Amino acid sequence: MKEVNVLVTGAAGQIGYALLTRLASGETFGEDTLVNLNLVEVPQVVSRLEGSKMELEDCGFNTLGKVKNFSDINEASGDIDWALLVGSIPRGITINGKKIEERADLLKINGGIFTEQGKAIGENAKKDAKILVVGNPANTNALIGSTHGNNSSQTWMAMTALDANRAKAQVAKKCDVSISDIKKMTIWGNHSPTMYPDLDNAEINNKSVSSLINNSAWIENDFLQNVQQRGKAIIDARGASSATSAANAAIDTVKATLTETPEKDWFSAAIMSDGSYNVPEGLIFGFPLRSNSKGEVSIVKNLPISDYAQEKIDITTKELLEEKNDIGDLL
């Protein structure tokens, strides 16, 4: 069997727990691939990973290879093909007696984490490794990590598939179609409430979703609000942030990258801007993407952007530029 080495940080958390069986089962990398998992947690809770390891063994997956637990990112990142960076410091946590609420503080605390992880992955992972940042603030965490990874042959991405899936779910209910009928969903910009889900370029049966709905009030007031604020709504409803859906979106992103994108579709993730769509270079920004047969990811070019969409893209661009400015000393 082929083998793939996968690093998961924050592996003892809810998202990590939801990820592990789907990585190990053959669903993600195929039934012909043995999956070796390097699970990482902070020293205070790394012992919990032993329970996860035992559960994975007890699943009896033919595709499960070696499972190793780490608290040292340098040891864990050796020779990896994929890194799913789930662990991050959430807003509202208390550190050294101070509750972390301000964005600048949150960015800098996570900046230290992703500086270390970026260096370790850049130095120790395979030269063509792919890194998906799930832990928020995902775009800027990915920017910090990729900067300190300093390895242009590796691909750093931040997850926007959760937003894309949320957008598809709202459209499916509105148009009474299945999720699989919805193609070309793009999330522009930041994985935050400023992100912009694009219905002009999304399609159902080769027709623009926005033209099929033909209701700008619903799009602006109901759809955008529901998608942009969905994370908060889930926290309010269940008392905890998204876990199952976040893990599912991470799996979706890995699978989309591994397989050649169908001709009449694309997927959404955030990667380093090359200046496309007038987005400044040096930002990890949500774009429509395609993957080729070698797993190389590229931005879909020359899509039409309405004035309304451009206004929304400008808002999320501004937020990412502000975040970059807040962590300027870390770059």
Catalytic residues: 191
CA distance 121 to 139: 17
CA distance 99 to 101: 6
- Asked if 324 and 285 count as a contact pair (C-beta separation under 8 A), the reply is no
Q: Which residues contact 269 (CB under 8 A, 6 or more apart)?
A: 132, 157, 158, 159, 160, 161, 253, 256, 257, 286, 287, 289, 297
Q: Which residues contact 241 (CB under 8 A, 6 or more apart)?
A: 14, 90, 231, 234, 235
Q: Which residues contact 240 (CB under 8 A, 6 or more apart)?
A: 14
- Asked if 80 and 7 count as a contact pair (C-beta separation under 8 A), the reply is yes
